[in-house]
Structure 1
């Protein structure tokens, strides 16, 4: 359980840094839009991609925070739906999961 907790904490740190980079990009920390209209169009498309990446990273952060809270409550390896133990292989593949395979596929 400690290894999983440490892994989740490392993942959380990396995701927070990634989200900050996305926010910096959106705030044009590295400079304003290019003067060329074609380049501006490309930058606008890139902004949409960065927005989606930020949304995904934020969702993953929420999942990690939920999994860490469940570990603190000492129920981190039990499915929050049915209460059964989550298979170790599933926890290894998806350390932030809170549901067993059966409940996740419903």
Structure 2
């Protein structure tokens, strides 16, 4: 049973490698907020998200960034796991805490 699960894992990893080489992987992130924007400076991406300073993000080897209309970030590459990790890191850099509406007591 253990060997069957390893076979499935190996098959999906090899499938992801082949799919990445032929078509590549892409994650799309959207920046929401007034005055929030992203821009490319060469390879690195500069994001302005409400801090007093712009945030610079260097892409890992094998990853490319694309920015459309200053609000949409595309993370592209051939390694599915690395694309997902990079998109998650960008998301957590830009993560905002949403405040929930307080409960109002019925009188």
The normalised TM-score by structure 2 is 0.25
Task: Report which of the two has the higher share of helix.
Answer: 1
**Higher share of residues assigned strand:** 2
What TM-score, normalized by structure 1, do the two folds share? 0.26
